[in-house]
Amino acid sequence: MPIDFDLLQPSLQKSRWFSQVPLHLQHAIVGSATMKYLHLGQYLHRKGDKVDGLYCLLSGKLRASNLSLNGQELILTWLQEGNWFGEISMFDGLPRTHDAIAEHDCSLLKISNQQFEQLLAAHPTLYPFFIRLLCQRVRTSFKLIDEMASLSLKGQLCRRLLLLIDGLEFSYTEHEQHDSQVFKLAISQESLALMLHSSRQTVNKILQELSKQGILHIHYGHITVFSKTKLLSLSQI
């Protein structure tokens, strides 16, 4: 059954990367894809799995994580609606670098290895767009490494919140310079603590400080962010 491009537009346009691809190439990308569904707790792939395709998350949420040597889960990020991912293994052919687990029931677009090769062969002008997606991922990874070495825990927390708002496709330096939007992040304090390799108590203390400054509000299981600009400013310390 063909995929209805117009029906998926609200989810697809949440990706700034995809929205910058010319419309006829957007249709080509979606036309090369099939639908895939996951239930809560189901693995999309595990670290070390062979590459099987490029994905776009249309609904739900995925947790990207690895295991430490002592078996503790180390959460890298959450992939949210509109995120495209998996391009690294599509280009180098090497195994997956992390686990991807459904936090909720999920629906995804999947472009298989063969479909991806055929897509690029038919539309070579897509290469710069996919390379840009790959480069954005690399830049974000470097910035995460830098923050672990040079920032306070408060700065790291602010940057992680910004990344959760924008997704891994874009660095936190690309935010618009106004605060007209309010963002609801479905993430618990325990999960943030795991991402930062800290304790829930320490993370809660920082969040309470940010709440008193009017930057965000803490709810059970989620956080509402009122000012990206202020988060960006605090993410430099």
CA dihedral 167, 44, 85, 145 (to 10 degrees): 60
Domain positions in the chain are 5-137, 152-234
Question: By the 8 A CB rule, do 157 and 203 touch?
Answer: yes
How many C-beta neighbours within 10 Å does residue 162 have? 22
Q: Which of 211, 182, 205 is CA-nearest to residue 193?
A: 205
User: Across the strands, what pairs with 79?
Assistant: 62
CATH number for the domain formed by residue range(s) 5-137: 2.60.120.10
Question: pLDDT at position 174, please?
Answer: 39
* Portion of the chain with pLDDT greater than 70, in percent: 93
Question: pLDDT at position 116, please?
Answer: 97
Euclidean distance between CA atoms 210 and 213, whole angstroms? 5
What is the per-residue pLDDT across 27-57, written as a single tens digit (0 to 9) for each?
A: 999 999 999 999 999 999 999 999 999 999 9
Residue type at 41? G
Q: Which of 163, 169, 131 is CA-nearest to residue 144?
A: 163
Q: What is the pTM of this model?
A: 0.77
User: Cα dist. 27→24, 36, 155, 224 in Å?
Assistant: 5, 18, 40, 34
Question: pLDDT at position 180, please?
Answer: 61
Domain 152-234: state its class. mainly alpha
What is the per-residue pLDDT across 116-175, written as a single tens digit (0 to 9) for each?
A: 999 999 999 999 999 999 998 888 888 777 767 778 899 989 988 988 887 633 333 333
Classify residue 122 by burial, with Cβ atoms within 10 Å: 0-12, 13-18, 19+: exposed
Confidence band for 8, pLDDT divided at 50, 70 and 90: very high
Task: Give the pair of three-digit tokens for residue 212.
Answer: 């008193």
User: Across the strands, what pairs with 64?
Assistant: 77, 100
How many C-beta neighbours within 10 Å does residue 114 have? 10
